[in-house]
């Protein structure tokens, strides 16, 4: 079922969902089940699975030369989605990214997804391979999420690559990312909203936000979206702080601000156990407020570690 239908059917009740990462290459599907099982008591109508581009590793040869080898660290998104649907009978939402994929590879993946009965996709650009080089599109691939979205929207109209006859119309419900604190490459919020509006006008039916730790950022973002004519459901993406290192890593990686109160409370902790308690308690309060604000879904970035999310969800659902 489409995410928009799940939200409509809930009749204003806030739903629970979460995101998983495929396990690193060489691990088994049981890692995925171990990450899902503890969260099934909260009846998630859908579960997201991230997509990852290939990486490079360098192999040193006896003659001293370095060989650059391309490999996928976290393969398996499409198969994991199929396994989730089969085992748990909930909708799986694969992410699709531009980086690392040609248009033909994307089309083949979309055909597989459609054959598997997957109704939703989250369409993204993907991050740069190296932070300092900026995002470099893959030859024959897409440069922005808008371009990838156009490809999916075209398939929904029966337009496939290099086909001049009308083909089967897929019916993917398309989601996109939104940034309450602005995407770090956007020169300003106004430009960021311009592209977000473009995505919705091109067919995006829901938005999932980057994580945030101050609910006023979410409320202002929703307000600004509505003022800019963006009227689709906006699903808050959430992640509790569980270690003191995240005071540095989260702002650095995700380009967000951590509230002073939260930062001070974590700095006052005597050990990592206390930090985790503070992070979880903060997120419980955030979630309670988001439910009151009418958030359609609370969507957790679990990083495949279900325990903190379970503790939070038990206080809310």
Q: Which residue, 209 or 265, is less far from ligand FAD as judged by CB?
A: 209
Binders of ligand FAD in range 287-316 (CB under 6 A): none
Q: Is 186 in the site for ligand FAD (CB under 6 A)?
A: yes
CB-nearer residue toward ligand FAD: 118 or 278: 118
Would you give the binding string for ligand FAD spanning residues 76-115, x where CB under 6 A is met?
Answer: -------------------x-x------------------
Say whether residue 55 binds ligand FAD (CB under 6 A). no
Nearer residue to ligand FAD within complex by CB, 82 or 204: 204
Interface with ligand FAD by CB under 6 A: which range of 185-193, 224-232, 270-278, 289-297? 185-193
Residue 146 touching ligand FAD (CB under 6 A): yes
DSSP string for residues in the chain = --HHHHHHHHTTPPEEEEEEPPPPTT--THHHHHHHGGGGGG--SEEEE-----EEEEEEPTTS-EEEEEE-SS--HHHHHHHHHHHH-SEEEEEEESTT--HHHHHHHHHHHHHTT--EEEEE----SSGGG---PPTTS-SSHHHHHHHHHHHHTT--TT--S--PPP-PEEEEEE-TT--TTSSSHHHHHHHHHHHHHTTEEEEEEPP-S-HHHHHHHHHHHHHTT--S-EEPEE----STTHHHHHHHHH--PPPHHHHHHHHT-SSHHHHHHHHHHHHHHHHHHHHHTT-SEEEEE-TT-HHHHHHHHHHH-
177 counts as binding ligand FAD under rule CB under 6 A: yes
Does 125 engage in binding with ligand FAD (CB under 6 A)? yes
Q: Which two tokens stand for residue 263?
A: 């930062």
Half-sphere exposure of residue 16: CA atoms within 13 angstroms, side-chain side: 18
> Based on CB atoms, which residue is closest to ligand FAD, 236 or 308?
236
Q: How far is the CB of 52 from ligand FAD (least distance, A)?
A: 6
Q: Is 230 in the site for ligand FAD (CB under 6 A)?
A: no
Q: Tell the smallest beta-carbon distance from residue 179 to ligand FAD (Å).
A: 7
Chain length of the chain: 317
Options 42, 46, 51, 212; binder of ligand FAD; rule CB under 6 A: 51
Instruction: Decide if residue 250 touches ligand FAD (CB under 6 A).
Output: no
Name the residue nearer to ligand FAD (CB basis): 195 or 317.
Answer: 195
Active-site residues, by number, are: 19
> Footprint of ligand FAD on this chain (CB under 6 A)?
50-52, 95, 97, 124-127, 144-146, 177, 183, 185-186, 191-192, 195, 208, 210, 237
């Amino acid at each position: 079922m489409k995410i928009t239908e799940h939200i409509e059917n809930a009749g204003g009740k806030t739903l629970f969902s979460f995101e998983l990462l495929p396990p690193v290459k060489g691990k088994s599907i049981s890692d995925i089940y171990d990450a899902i099982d503890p969260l099934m008591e909260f009846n998630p109508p859908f579960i997201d699975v991230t997509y990852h581009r290939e990486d490079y590793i360098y192999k040193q040869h006896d003659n001293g030369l370095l060989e650059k080898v391309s490999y996928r660290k976290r393969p398996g998104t499409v198969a994991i989605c199929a396994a989730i649907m089969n085992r748990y009978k909930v909708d799986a939402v694969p992410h699709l990214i531009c980086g690392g994929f040609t248009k033909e590879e994307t089309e083949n993946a979309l055909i597989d997804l459609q054959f598997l009965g997957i109704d939703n996709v989250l369409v993204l650009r993907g991050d740069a391979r190296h932070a300092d080089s900026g995002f470099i599109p893959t030859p024959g691939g897409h440069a922005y999420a808008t371009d990838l979205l156009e490809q999916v929207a075209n398939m929904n109209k029966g337009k496939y690559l290099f086909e001049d006859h009308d083909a089967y119309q897929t019916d993917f419900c398309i989601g996109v990312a939104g940034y309450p604190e602005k995407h770090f490459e956007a020169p300003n919020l106004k430009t960021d909203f311009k592209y977000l509006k473009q995505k919705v006008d091109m067919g995006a039916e829901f938005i999932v936000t980057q994580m945030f730790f101050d609910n006023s950022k979410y409320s202002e973002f929703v307000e600004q979206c509505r003022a800019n004519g963006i009227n689709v459901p906006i699903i808050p993406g959430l992640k509790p702080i569980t270690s003191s290192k995240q005071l540095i890593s989260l702002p650095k990686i995700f380009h967000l601000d951590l509230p002073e109160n939260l930062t001070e409370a974590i700095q006052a902790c005597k050990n990592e156990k206390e930090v985790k308690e503070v992070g979880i308690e903060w997120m419980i309060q955030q979630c309670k407020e988001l439910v009151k604000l009418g958030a359609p879904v609370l969507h957790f970035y679990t990083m495949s570690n279900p325990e903190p999310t379970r503790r939070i969800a038990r206080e809310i659902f």
